[in-house]
Structure 1
Amino acid sequence: MSYKKRILFHEWRLFAPPLSLLLLLCVASAPTPGQKTKLAQKSQNTPNFDKSVWSYFDKNCVACHNAETKAGALDLNSLRCTDSATRFRETWESVQRKIGTGEMPPKGCPRPTESENKATILRIENEFEHVDKLAPPNPGNVTAHRLNRAEYNNTIHDLLGVDFRPADDFPQDDSGYGFDNIGDVLSLSSSQMEKYVLASEKVARTALFGPESLQPTLARHEVSGRRIITATTIPARYDPTGLNLPNSLHATHRFPVNGEYVFRLGLNGVRPLGSEPLHLALWIDGQRVQTLDFDPTGSAAFNLDRQDFSGRTVEYRHRVSSGDHWIAATIERMYEGLPTDCNGPKPSKRVIAPQEFKPRPGQTPEQIAASRKRFEARLKEKSPTNDARVSSLEIGGPYSQSKAASEESLRKIFVCGHLHGGHNALCTRKIVANLAGRAFRRPATSQETNRFSSLVSLARRQGDSYEEGICLAVQGILVSPHFLFRIERDLSTTKPTSPHLLSQYELASRLSYFLWSSLPDDELRQCADRQTLRSPGVLEAQVRRMLKDPRSHALSENFAGQWLQFRSLESFRPDKERFPDFDDYLRMSMRQETELFFDSIIREDRSILTLLFGKYTFLNERLANFYGVPNVVGPAFRKVSLAGTSRGGILTQASVLTVTSYPNRTSPVLRGKWILDNILNAPPPAPPPGVPNLDVSTVGANTSLRQQLEEHRKNPTCASCHARMDPLGFGLENFDAIGAWRKKDGKIDIDSSGSLPDGRTFRGPDGLKDILKSDSDAFAGCLSSKLLTYALGRGLERYDRPTVKQITKRIAAKDFRFSSLVLEIVTSKPFQMRKGDKPK
């Protein structure tokens, strides 16, 4: 092992003991016996539920939910005590929810009036608020938070200005509560630590000396199972670019460094003899970067009256920046330049020589006769085959790669002295202190500055250059736990377990990783330096500035992508026989639509209700054709009105509809459960063991999916949950498993009606959204819970519920604006404070 690696592992071990202790302590502290006594004493002063509440239960519920019958394992009489709302909070919340959704009392039993239900729900809620006011404040405790892969990549980029994504080679992050930024599940293994050490060297050397010189490699992309098109199937909406035709190829490719790359297109298929050259085009990130006319004359093999492109290749060379890029290879103007008898636009002007039958040498008379028959049949064809296509794309490189360090990286490191050589050793402490302070999201201590500065001196004593010494110091900083973890410390002046405000730097760090998934920028850090981040107006101004910054796109990628689950679109593989139109281009377009839509909510500070009911979206031509929306031409996404259509909001976007389906069919159960979990914040419990799966073997043949689910619900064990899930999912049945509109499933007419347990009915996606609009507070509460979970990096506990309710109530008074939701979260006690660690 080199002296540099020994130093780096030593740096890690130096900090590891206090970190491991911190990790053990960073579990939310349970109340001590003394605390429990105080809680119990306070709860004795809590008045019982209003008599009218018990009158409601005696009249409508106790006949079934008593000590003898105990329906649903619930004896309401056991809840009759003075501290009931404290001791049995979860039970009461379940009761409140079932009344609100109409599940209780069940169908067939006498049902209270709507006003009686609402009054009872309100009285229970008032009791909860009373109990919550008596409880001591508890902002919770967040486990020391390791940077996840997205945060690591963004932080490295903003810290050092390097363009590659080192964390993409790290193991996948575990998820908890639906998100991969939850501190409790972000563990650190020895193998992962090894990857951090390797990444630190690559990152530091790239920042100081430029990207490493790479040997060219070759990667191949292919498309299989694609529907072939011919000149006889000219689409009604002709796409001259070829991007939306199935004979194009689309792929996402990662380019390791800036440099020149070779793109080799593999061709296949045939065209009629006499056709003009193929118009081939290379696209990168939606921009046409190169075109080439490929003349088949003399290049393609000829088989009677057609040109055979099998095995033919075309090459481009183009400079590409490092990172992930969308690549497309297309045949433009596919239907132009064909012989006149193909009836295409702008026919070929080439003269076709008369074809003569020439038998192959050595053929028998029978073979000659058969060949002549085929020849004459082809001559009679009015539309010879036209299925030329791009079948593969090979990307080779890099060549002529950029080797120098970027100016941006050098400026971020050498805050003292010259950027290019002639560095002054007197600047070392300033360089190290600045970089460590930014990396650790707080000012570096003098001890830390001394340690990392000593690495520069050590490298010089080993005979390395000053720049190599700075490189070693950068590596040491990047493997420090104070960089890899977002560590929040207890204040020494507080009691061990008492809640306390975060420091200004910790607050800035929470804020930046919440909105940007990256470290605080200079302006945010300066607010922390001046201790003004909590000053009136300052925090709000910073939040509004950060939401307008392009880096807030991280909320769309990382929060919305996991909340709405469209991240999993990458792994979705629909049945090719049932859905031949689904390809990688459509997949990418689906995801980008939802990201841009969520971006618009942030940038334009729209109401969060627009997420459900907005009558606009963002489409390119491929997705517009898929939706049947006219007048959208080209690969660029643009804002499009959905007025007069059944689409609008995330529920009708193809990304969400696809990830809530099976590969070969829709699933009202999956879609209904998704709505309960992600829109209404009322997830159903897991199915009990032994419940049989739904038999779908005869769906579409003799019975509909609705009929099969009705049979499934006859099982009493299944009925209660499916009565809530299935109707919601059926409201989206007009959308197939990849989100296309349909009126039939095979030969069976779609029935998109739904009937909820509370008696409300609806039909189709518009009717479903009307139902959800009447429950807009439930959606606001759901999004508040999800976003607060993501912002804190921990799961919500019972003591967080008053905060969620308060946030929901306040944003309703501010038209549910997205900025108001973010501001309520960042000014809440759970975000501004933390509970001290319990000493061991």
Structure 2
Amino acid sequence: MSMPARTILVLLGGVIASVAVVSSQAGQPTVYRGGSPAVTAAAKLPSSVERQLVPTRTGAPLPAAPVFDRALLDQYCVTCHNDRRKATAGGLALDTIDATRIGDHPEVWEKVVSKLRSREMPPSGRPRPDAPTYQAAVTALETALDRAAVAAPNAGRIAVHRMNRAQYGNAIRDLLGLEVDTQLLLRPDETGYGFDNIADVLTISPGLMEEYKLAAWKISRLVVGDPTVRPSVTTYKVSRFLDQEFRVSEGLPFGTRGGTVINHTFPLDGEYVLKISLQRAYAQNVIKGLKEREEIDVRLDGQPIKLLAVGGECVDSKEPRCVAFQPKLNVASGVRILPAEYDLNADKNLEVRFLAKGGPATITAAFLERYATVTEGGGAARKPLTQWQSDTGEGLMAMDFVTIEGPFASKVPVDTESRRRIFTCTPKGPQDETACARTILTNLARRAYRRSVTPGEVDALVAFYANGRAKRDFDAGIQTAIEALLMTPNFLLRVTHDPPTSGAGVNYRLDSFDLASRLSFFLWSSIPDDELLTAAAAGTLHDPKILEQQVRRMLADTRSQALIKGFFSQWLSLRDLANVMPDPAAFPDFDDNLRQAFLLETEMFLESQIREDRPVTDLLTANYTFLNERLAAFYGVPNVYGARHRRVTMTDPNRMGLLGQGSILTVTSYSTRTSPVVRGRWMLTNILGSPPPAPPPNIPALVENGEDGAAPSTVRERMSAHRRSPACASCHNRIDPMGFALENYSAIGRWRTTEHGLPVDGSGTFPDGAKFTNPAEFRALLMGQSDEFIKTLTTKMLTYAVGRGVTPFDMPSVRKIIRESGPKRQWSALVLAVVKSMPFQMNRTTGQSAATVAP
């Protein structure tokens, strides 16, 4: 590595210190201490933080809210929710609480509001108030809570916030122009409140520090170009569960089938070797599909570089390489025949040597389609694993993996996207090198640190530059400085410093640079761009008009796709789709092609919702989606051809909105069957914001269909025992109807009317008594609770935007966000309301604060 080991350890020690120090003493500036003067200078507090921020303090108390009707509690609630029965009533006692001081106990009353809004309480079968009484109670409680929050606001607190893995990769892309696969560089992040960007769980371990160190070393060599790089081999695996009979990606040329698309970064200009390995049958390790001649088209950035041929050479041939070897062995099972050499090694010459420029590139390798066809396949039956294991060489030829080796005869690239971003000046001679290095590093540090940088911080990076320059040349010095920059706390962490003169438990407004960072990490999962930093430096970002302009600009930018990959994919459990493996015996037509089609459908659907600025409730009711031929055939939609996903209007009322999409239905199922409990819990948690409690211990597992010789039965019939149990009924009466509403969809989302020859019953009843018989009716009733869906979405989005759990003290802000998003509830209005909210715009000094307990 380019930096001395001792310096690296000191620098990483600064990272540990910055995580450990969370401004435990208000008014005491955080200092990163280390043995190197350069490191200490690099960690100096930025001038934007050294300025005293004016804390936002509460004003005069507002008039008291209308008194909540205590008699309502006594009549309908305290029979169960009293101090004596508290342990069996969700830990909630309402008999002794003062109903005239609602604001004193938001953690209690927000729970009450939530249960009343969802009509879960009083429970089914108990006396209930009429609808106007319900609404009056909710309005009175919310008004009292909101007024109390205005009188004594609590903005919540985050002191230190580490970049997560996805944010790190996006920051490298936007700072240095390099796409990196962070899954290969950094370990997965912990999650909290459903997201992996929560400050409290984004800690730094010694192992992660080592990974940051190695990542910085690799990235700095790639972006600058290191002439000392030695040839290495990178392997790209093709999933064995990908059906290669058809065109598998829009990134592959038309008229091809199977293969793969590879995004590869070439470290230097030079010569590289690409090798292709074909799939073998499990049993004999022979290459599949060699009876037919196949041609493989290899391209670099869309330009053909070679057409390789394999197969068809040994049909009826007596050449030694084509003849199976039959040794004379005395074995108990008879004569053993060994495969021919050709069957084992026919792909040994499938390689191409080519020249490539340093930097990122796209390589494709795919089989030419031998027969003209307009179809992409309807999902031929997938072989069970036991059948794969006994395979012979019969079948269609397919790729197993591709390797890229190099560079050979290499040189440092002159012009790459990364070098254009880094080398904003070129020294004319040795006398200009330090000044040019300072210019380069000042520009990089401003973007990386997300604020104006001090001369001392630049001096620290120039010291690293001088260290590398002394070893080789100017480029080596810049490479060493970039390596150091990527390991500083200023890059890896967002540290919010309390104003020096503030007291404990005081709300204060974030400075412009902190606000810019919070905004860019929310919408882009990345660092601010130059325009956003310029607005922050000018002090105009707190201007509501300027802020709105920036938000709308950022939403229109392609980088806002990070909302799909970050927020939506975690909220809706889409990330789990990669790990789902439906039982091949029960679902032989599920393969990676269908998995990818499911995911792309939902991602394109979500992106269209944002781009078209549709009402947020359209997520549940939209009459369109995005299909390719494979997925259209799966849904039973005619006249859709090809691998490309395109917008399709849906006429089947059961397939409208998110709840009719295969991605959601698959991630909420078991591998062998549907689960109304899993789907119901997902609905209550992610759509209606009322997650059920964990089940009690020692609950027996559901008897599987036909188990112990039992007659075939539906999931509903087998679950009836749980609903009859008093210990289970209270929760299952809420969970099961939500899951039964989706029971007409199989565990991979295929529509069905029977299960094991028995009719599927998709009917159910909401807590308020409303009944449905199919998914379309269920969705209509669900829209009657659209306020609960909007509240859930808003709470989830605020959690993701700020990076901490939403507390009862935040719920007045959630309600204000909903009000300010307007009657149409469009996406841009909701995002703007979140950005303008107190939890997003402000922070709180250390002192007494609310515990992060979800209401």
Same structural fold, with TM-score higher than 0.5 when normalized by the shorter chain = yes
Residue number in structure 1 paired with 2:95: 77
CA 1:280–1:756: 2 relative to 1, 3 Å: same
> 1:359 — aligned with what?
none
Could you list the per-position Cα deviations for residues 783-816 of structure 1 after superposition, in whole angstroms to 9, with x for gaps in the alignment?
Answer: 1111111111111111111111111122242x11
1:606–1:818 contact (8 Å) kept in structure 2: yes
How many angstroms does 1:487 deviate by?
Answer: 1.5
- Please name the residue that 1:734 is paired with: 744
Whole-Å separation in 2 of the counterparts to 1:153 and 1:420 = 35
Match of 1:800 among 800, 810, 829: 810
Structure 1 pair 104–154 and aligned structure 2 pair: CA distance change class (3 A): closer
What secondary structure, in the 3-state scheme, does the structure 2 residue paired with 1:395 have? strand
Q: Return closer, same or farther for 1:302/1:728 CA change in 2, 3 Å cut-off.
A: farther
Aligned with residue 647 of structure 2, among 633, 639, 648: 639
Is the deviation greater in 405-414 or in 770-779?
A: 405-414
Instruction: Determine the structure 2 residue equivalent to 1:559.
Output: 567
**Structure 2 counterpart of 1:512, from 506, 517, 520:** 520
1:227 & 1:167 partners in 2: Cα distance?
25
Q: Match for 2:110: what amino acid? A: E
Who is 1:417 aligned against? 426
150-159 or 697-706, larger mean C-alpha shift: 697-706
Structure 1, unpaired ranges of 5+: 28-37, 230-236, 337-384
Question: 2:52 is matched with which residue?
Answer: none
Go from structure 1 to structure 2 and tell me whether the alpha carbon gap of 1:732 and 1:503 turns closer, same or farther (over 3 Å shift): same
Is residue 140 from structure 1 mapped to residue 156 from structure 2 by the alignment? Answer: yes
Q: Tell me what 2:662 maps to.
A: 654
2:437 corresponding residue in structure 1: 428
1:790 aligns with 2:800: yes
Q: Distance in 1 between matches of 2:826 and 2:445?
A: 37
Look up the match of 1:746: 756
- For 2:183 and 2:239, locate their aligned partners in 1 and report how far apart those are by CA, in whole Å: 28
Using the TM superposition, give the Cα deviation of residue 407 of structure 1 relative to its aligned residue in structure 2, in angstroms: 3.1
Change (3 A) 1:734 1:491: same
| Residues 282, 785 of structure 1: alpha-carbon distance in 2 compared, 3 angstrom cutoff | farther
Q: Read off the aligned partner of 1:396 and give its amino acid letter.
A: T
Whether 1:315 aligns to 2:350 is: yes
Which residue matches 1:190? 206
Partner of 1:356: none
Give the SS at the match of 2:499.
coil
Matched-pair contact (CA < 8 Å) for 2:19–2:203: no
1:47 Cα deviation after fit: 6.5
Partner of 2:323: none
Q: Give how far 1:596 is off.
A: 1.3
CA gap 1:239/1:560 in 2 versus in 1, 3 angstroms: closer
Q: Which moved more, 1:817-826 or 1:69-78?
A: 69-78
Aligned partners of 1:659 and 1:288: how far apart in 2? Answer: 39
Q: How many residues end up aligned between the 2 structures?
A: 756
Q: 1:397 to 1:801 in 2, by over 3 A?
A: same
In the alignment, structure 1 residue 5 sits paired with structure 2 residue 5: yes
2-structure distance, mates of 1:238, 1:457: 52
Q: Distance in 1 between matches of 2:15 and 2:714?
A: 62
Query: Mapping of 1:226-625 within 5 angstroms?
Result: 249=258, 255=264, 257=266, 261-266=274-279, 298-300=313-315, 312-313=346-347, 315=350, 317=352, 329=366, 332=369, 388-399=395-406, 404-405=412-413, 406-417=415-426, 424-460=433-469, 462-625=470-633
Change in 2 beyond 3 A, CA 1:662/1:837: same
Q: Quick one: structure 1 residues 111 and 834, their matched pair in 2 at CA, closer, same or farther if it must change by over 3 Å?
A: closer
1:120 CA drift (Å)? 2.6
Output the amino acid matched with 1:644: D
Alpha-carbon deviation of 1:26?
10
User: What CA deviation, in whole Å up to 9, does each residue of 1:723-746 have, x standing for no partner?
Assistant: 111111111111111111222212
Check conservation: 1:788, 1:825, Cα contact below 8 A: yes
Aligned-partner SS, 2:405: strand
TM-score, normalised to structure 2's length? 0.80
The answer (yes or no) to whether the contact 1:213–1:403 under 8 Å persists in 2 is: no
Among candidates 109, 118, 130, match of residue 92 of structure 1: 109
State the Cα deviation string for residues 567-616 of structure 1 (Å, max 9, x = none).
11111111011111111122122111111111112222121112111111
- The structure whose Rg is larger is 1
User: Do 2:197 and 2:800's aligned partners in 1 also have CA atoms closer than 8 Å?
Assistant: yes
1:488 CA drift (Å): 1.7
The SS at the match of 1:389 is coil
Within the alignment, does 1:691 sit opposite 2:699 as a pair?
Answer: yes
Deviation at 1:205, TM superposition (A): 2.0
8 Å CA contact 1:280, 1:332 repeated in 2? no
Distance 1:192 1:18, change over 3 A: closer
Q: What do the CA deviations read for 1:120-168 (whole angstroms, capped 9, x no partner)? A: 332332332333333x222111141111111111111111112333563
**Cα displacement string for residues 742-798 of structure 1 (whole angstroms, at most 9, x for unaligned residues):** 222121111111112211111222112112111111111111111111111111111
Q: For residue 379 of structure 1, what is the aligned residue in structure 2?
A: none
Letter in 2 for 1:789: T
Amino acid at match of 1:398: E
Q: Which residue matches 2:720?
A: 710
Change (3 A) 1:786 1:65: closer
Q: CA deviation at 1:204?
A: 1.6
SS at match of 1:736: coil
Could you tell me which runs of 5 or more consecutive residues in structure 2 were left unpaired when the two chains were aligned.
28-56, 281-286, 319-339, 374-391, 849-855
Q: Secondary structure at the match of 1:632?
A: coil
Q: Structure 1's 523 and 419: CA in aligned 2 closer, same or farther, altered over 3 A?
A: farther
Quote the offset at 1:16 in angstroms.
5.0
- Does the 8 Å contact 1:777/1:808 carry over to 2? no
| SS in structure 1 at match of 2:654 | coil
Equivalent position to 1:720, from 723, 730, 745: 730
Query: What is the rounded CA distance, in whole Å, between the counterparts of 2:79 and 2:208 in structure 1?
Result: 59
Q: Contact (CA 8 Å) 1:825, 1:831: kept in 2 or not?
A: yes
1:102/1:759 contact within 8 Å kept: no
Structure 2 CA distance for partners of 1:115 and 1:191, relative to 1, 3 Å: same
Shift, 1:399, TM fit: 4.7
Q: Measured at CA, do residues 149 and 67 of structure 1 come closer, stay the same or move farther in structure 2, by a change above 3 Å?
A: closer
- 1:77 counterpart SS class: coil
In the superposition, the TM-score normalised over structure 1's length comes to 0.81
Contact 1:556 1:599 in 2 (8 A): yes
Mapped to 2, the partners of 1:744 and 1:290 lie a distance apart of: 52
CA-CA distance at 1:81 after TM superposition: 4.8
Matched, 1:181 2:188: no
Contact residue 619 and residue 657 of structure 2 kept, 8 A: yes
Shift of 1:115: 2.7
Q: 1:703 to 1:772 in 2, by over 3 A?
A: same
* Separation of aligned partners in 2, 1:439 and 1:651: 41
Residues 239 and 333 of structure 1 are in contact (CA less than 8 Å); yes or no, is this contact kept in structure 2? Answer: no
Distance 1:450 1:537 in 2: 37
Deviation (angstroms), 1:683: 0.8
Q: Would the aligned equivalents of 2:518 and 2:801 in 1 still touch at CA under 8 Å? A: yes
Q: What do the CA deviations read for 1:398-429 (whole angstroms, capped 9, x no partner)?
A: 35678534432223222233599996322232
In the alignment, residue 485 of structure 1 is paired with which amino acid?
L
* Separation of aligned partners in 1, 2:675 and 2:428: 59
- Which range is displaced more, 823-832 or 58-67? 58-67
RMSD of equivalent CA atoms: 3.9
Query: Which of 791, 795, 805 is the aligned partner of 1:781?
Result: 791
Instruction: Supply the distance in 2 between the matched residues of 1:594 and 1:697 (Cα, whole angstroms).
Output: 31
Please tell me the residue identity of whatever aligns with 1:434.
N
Q: Deviations over 1:59-96 (max 9, x none)?
A: 4444555567777365543234532x234433333334
